[in-house]
Chain A
Amino acid sequence: KAGVTQTPRYLIKTRGQQVTLSCSPISGHRSVSWYQQTPGQGLQFLFEYFSETQRNKGNFPGRFSGRQFSNSRSEMNVSTLELGDSALYLCASSWGRGQEDTEAFFGQGTRLTVV
């Protein structure tokens, strides 16, 4: 059974550019969440998508957005990149069924470097 797949693994972008990250969840999982990991702030929740709808949102500026497709694959977009956006972006998938849903499964992440 394939795990969570994130592409690309590494990205280098210039300030002011925009970037799109992709996440394919485990087959059958309908919930996809995104996290930003930095040495200073640790792991922070960005947003969660379920059945193509954003269900939860963290405290990030509007430059961070996402979407989910009918096959549950998700993309995350960051516009007008800033140096502080350099981070490891992690995607997590789960069934999304509610309380009986427990652990989330994470991808290997996309390492974004903004120069």
Chain B
Amino acid sequence: AQSVAQPEDQVNVAEGNPLTVKCTYSVSGNPYLFWYVQYPNRGLQFLLKYITGDNLVKGSYGFEAEFNKSQTSFHLKKPSALVSDSALYFCAVRGLYNFNKFYFGSGTKLNVKP
């Protein structure tokens, strides 16, 4: 069965500092991993994905994620946080056979303080 876990409900960082939002996965087969961001009362916006290839994936708005097979992790990172990055972040994995079914983590609220 496909699943992802986000161990932190909330992450607080100061503006300008690096940020990390954690995600671990449990999958059968090759993992198709994603990060989405949600602003209040809005839908999900795609940030980045890992399908295969380089373990460091670059995405939108300066975000990147590191795929680590040995630790079954896919942490989201950004070198310098902005106040406008404050939002709810979701890690997700695609279904093994149901390709258009996504399994989402519980979400991590990122607070970036000025």
Residues of A within 8 A of B (CB): 4, 6, 31, 33, 35, 42-43, 45, 48, 50, 55-56, 58, 90, 92, 94, 96, 98-99, 101-109, 111
B29 to chain A, nearest CB (A): 11
Q: List 8 A-B contacts (CB under 8 A).
A: A4-B43, A42-B107, A45-B102, A56-B101, A92-B44, A103-B46, A104-B102, A109-B42
- Given contacts A102-B51, A103-B34, are A108 and B100 in contact (CB under 8 A)? no
Residues of B within 8 A of A109 (CB): 41-43
Q: Say how far A5's CB is from chain B's closest CB, in angstroms.
A: 10
Among A43, A92, A108: residue with most chain B CB under 10 A: A43
Most buried by B among A58, A96, A104, A108: A104
Which 9 pairs across A and B sit closest by C-beta, in order of nearness? A106-B43, A43-B104, A106-B44, A108-B43, A56-B98, A103-B46, A31-B100, A109-B43, A48-B100
Q: Are the CB atoms of B98 and A48 closer together than 8 Å?
A: yes
Majority SS of interface residues in chain A? strand
A107 to chain B, nearest CB (A): 5
Q: Which of B100, B104, B105 has the most CB of A within 10 A?
A: B100
The answer to whether B72 has its CB under 8 Å from any CB of chain A is no
B90 part of interface (Cβ distance < 8 Å): yes
CA distance A107 to B44 in the complex (A): 7
Known: A42-B106, A42-B107, A106-B36. A90 touches B100 (CB 8 A): no
Closest beta carbon of chain B to A94's beta carbon, Å = 6
Q: With the chains together, A108 CA to B107 CA distance in Å?
A: 17
Report the bound CA distance from A107 to B45 in whole Å: 9
Q: Are A98 and B99 in contact (CB under 8 A)?
A: yes
Question: Once bound together, how far apart are the Cα atoms of A107 and B100, in whole Å?
Answer: 15
